[in-house]
Amino acid sequence: MLERMNQALDHLEGCLDREIDMAEVAGIAAVSEYHFRRLFSALAGMPLPVYVRRRRMTLAGAEVLAGELTLLDVAVRYGYGSGEAFARAFRSVHGIGPGEARRTGAVLTAQPRMSFRVVVEGSTPMRYRIVEKEPFRVVGRKARVPLVHEGVNAAAAAHLENLDQQAIVRMKELAGREPEGILSAVVHLTDSREDGAEVDYWIGVATGLETAAEELDALDVPAGTWAVFDNHGPYPGALQDLWRDVFTQWFPSNPYTSRPAPELLLTRPVEIGTETDSQLWIPVERASGSPGE
């Protein structure tokens, strides 16, 4: 998969001076656009649109300093319909406007071309199984929180602490579907996996679609395939390592891609740093062209 990802990035590089068809780029990698964006963000540590903007502004910066084209010509070449929009994008990357950069010969910021390879460090045992599930409903409480890749997520912890006892008792009464017990569900609002990217964070239980609980929020989850990873280690570090390794190591070496659906987590509450068992459910589908397709 990584070889195809790198071929897709080579194609993207050739499209920086025109409109980019991301579905076409993802097709070169033989994955959906959704999975391509998610995998890129996990591997690169930045969303795909941010990388594209930085690469375009790297090339545009060289042309601004060269002085052979007008600033408007440079703006149009890299897909900006106005000098103002180009100047905003240029400043967001270089910290200086294009006109001032040309006048002063300023030092600019370059975003190198990316290519990917997997370095398997063995930091997280990756025991998994594949589960097919019928449609189900998560009922519980929802909050919008930022992603935190290392250490305690204070916003998520506060959401848990703010649950009233009546809601917890009601959720336990409704539980009964796999994954069993009180769980958390993460719904990504964008393709970014950067620290600080906002997600909808649910604490609830899995129930049937017929379940109604007016006092609780409800999230309907369509039928699909899930890769279920078992994990044991200090909380929350071992779980955060597993989440990272699923996207940077497991997906590139297995015949599956991610699909739009909540990511689910079952874990036993413990003190920070104490070892505990966790179970991570990642929505997947068979990769196009993989054996068995």
The model's pLDDT over 96-155, given as tens digits with 9 standing for 90+, comes to 999 999 999 888 988 999 988 766 555 555 789 999 999 999 999 999 999 988 888 999
Q: 44 near 59, Cβ under 8 Å? A: no
Q: 26 near 32, Cβ under 8 Å? A: yes
CA distance 210 to 131: 22
> Is 1 exposed, middle or buried, given 0-12, 13-18 or 19+ CB atoms closer than 10 A?
buried
What pLDDT is recorded for position 214?
86
CATH architecture of 2-104: Orthogonal Bundle (1.10)
C-alpha angle with apex 165: 164 to 166, nearest 5 degrees? 90
Joined tokens for residue 257: 């891609």
CATH architecture of 127-286: Alpha-Beta Barrel (3.20)
Closest-CA residue to 25 (of 16, 36, 35, 17): 36
pLDDT digits (tens, 9 = 90+) for 249-268: 888 888 899 999 999 999 87
Closest-CA residue to 246 (of 95, 151, 89, 127): 127
Residues 6+ apart with CB under 8 A from 241: 123, 124, 233
List residues bridging with 227 in a β-sheet.
130, 282
What pLDDT is recorded for position 274?
85
CA distance 6 to 283: 24
Whole-prediction pTM:
0.77
Three-state DSSP at 252 gives: helix
Residue keyed to tokens 């076409």: 24
Domain boundaries, the chain: 2-104, 127-286
Rounded percentage of the chain residues whose pLDDT exceeds 90: 60
pLDDT digits (tens, 9 = 90+) for 172-221: 999 988 898 899 999 999 888 888 889 999 999 999 999 888 889 999 99
